[in-house]
Amino acid sequence: MGKITFYEEKNFQGRSYECMNDCSDMSSYMSRCHSCRVESGCFMVYERNNYMGQQFFMRRGEYNDMQSMRSMGMMFDNIRSCRMIPYHRGQFRMKIYERDNFGGQSYELMDDCDNIQDRYRMSDCQSCNVMDGHWLMYEQPQYRGRMMYMRPGEYRNFREMMSGQRFMSMRRITDMC
């Protein structure tokens, strides 16, 4: 079970909203979010309502100023929705494909990959099938740049999902958070 508290102002000030599950629209609880505290669990936060726009992974800790989070890779400064990431026990498996609709070269991953080009000689990853576990995919090697949360399921076309974004590294979410 996770728990995250959002605050309208920096340094945990102003009106707050406590959340222990998914929230698709925080606007009815607060007008903006400029700090938050993750007391337990892991969460993906989103720049827009309905889990849309850029995403950022948050684990247990205090985030006292969303604007200063840019140094950690957060590319937006106001949270509008969040999704709790359930803890996964067991193996992790994901099959990545060079082209959309599961076309081109494919490789099965069971652990983190910091650079698909170096490891698999794959220049691009445009679709995947997450069979087990929860994953974070990053647009740049070495787990940098914009990220996307992937839970079990089929993802046929990253270009349509993320406005042309491509993924070059991926990491398992193994934390109990």
Checking if the pLDDT of 164 tops 80, the result is no
pTM of the predicted model as reported, rounded to 2 decimal places: 0.87
pLDDT band at 71 (very low <50, low <70, confident <90, very high): low
Task: Report the pLDDT averaged over residues 86-115.
Answer: 95
Residue-by-residue DSSP string for 88-153: --S--EEEEEEEGGGEEEEEEESS-BS-HHHHH--S---EEEEEES-EEEEEETTTEEEEEEE-SE
Report the pLDDT value the prediction gives residue 76, as an integer from 0 to 100: 73
pLDDT digits over 10-66, tens only? 999 999 999 999 999 999 999 888 899 999 999 999 989 999 988 999 999 999 987
In this predicted structure, the answer to whether residue 82 has a pLDDT above a threshold of 90 is yes
Place of tokens 């991926």: 170
Greatest CA separation for the chain: 51
Taking only the tens place, the pLDDT of each residue in 121-161 is: 998 899 999 999 999 999 999 999 888 999 999 999 987 77
Q: Is the dihedral of CA 127, 81, 27, 7 positive or negative?
A: negative
**What pLDDT is recorded for position 150?**
95
